[in-house]
Amino acid sequence: MSSFKKGEKWYRAHFPLRMSMNPGARTFEASPLYMFNPLVPERIYNLIPEIRLIAILRNPTERAISHYFHEQRKGRETLPLLEALQQEEQRLAPVIAGKDYDSTAFRHFSYKRRGIYRPQLEGFFRYFSRRQLLVLSSDEFFRKQDETLRKVFDFVGVDAGFRAASTRLRNVGRNKGDISPDVYDYLNDYFLPHNEALYELLGKSYQW
């Protein structure tokens, strides 16, 4: 069952009451599916129009490969890597046509489509102003963690001098194995025009 169908009360029950929070405190939640599901921006806007949103974008080639091995590790993917990438459009065609965004194929076999970032961001910009959406790359977060966290804290309106208790990585996959150069060539070629479109939208390049 989609969590959205559980309703607003179910959702808000996961957060502390405002009266129990310290002045200036903020609450957060995160899900990679929020950005990918095209129904989400309007749903968020209807529930919390004043929200602040943060999108952390990963190199789409690396993201697709990591996604594949995650699905393989979970036992959902049985095709070889390059074949799974090449068959994605065929697998997703019926669910995209039927707008079945809770389907297994949409959620688990969308290796390339999730890395086409511009239309996903534009879906949010239709409902939220630029000042409500902070776009970061995972590269800058890991290379310049303190600087990036200060940017995040300033964006959400908390003490920019705050230091997180722990910033260690979680849910890191370990079983990628050997990856053929053909896979990188295929994905880099595929994402090249989509990355250029993203850079045009954001006015900056991530050099992917």
Span 170-181, mean pLDDT?
70
Mean pLDDT, the chain, rounded, equals 91
Cβ-proximal residues to 41 (8 Å cutoff; 6+ apart), any chain: 123, 124, 126, 127, 128
Least-confidence region, from 90-104, 144-158, 188-202: 144-158
Least-confidence region, from 26-35, 57-66, 161-170, 187-196: 161-170
Q: Can you give the residue ranges of every domain in the chain?
A: 43-164+176-202
3-state secondary structure the chain: CCHHHHCHHHHHCCCCCHHHCCCCCCCCCCCHHHHHCCCHHHHHHHHCCCCCEEEEECCHHHHHHHHHHHHHHCCCCCCCHHHHHHCHHHHHHHHHHCCCCCCHHHHHCCCCHHHCHHHHHHHHHCCCCHHHEEEEEHHHHHHCHHHHHHHHHHHHCCCCCCCCCCCCCCCCCCCCCCCCHHHHHHHHHHHHHHHHHHHHHHCCCCCC
Does domain 43-164+176-202 bear CATH number 3.50.50.60? no
Span 181-186, mean pLDDT?
97
Q: Encode pLDDT of 148-164 as tens digits.
A: 999 999 999 888 777 77
Share of the chain above pLDDT 90, in %: 71
Q: What six digits make up the tokens of 52?
A: 């602040």
Q: Would the pTM count as exceeding 0.85?
A: yes
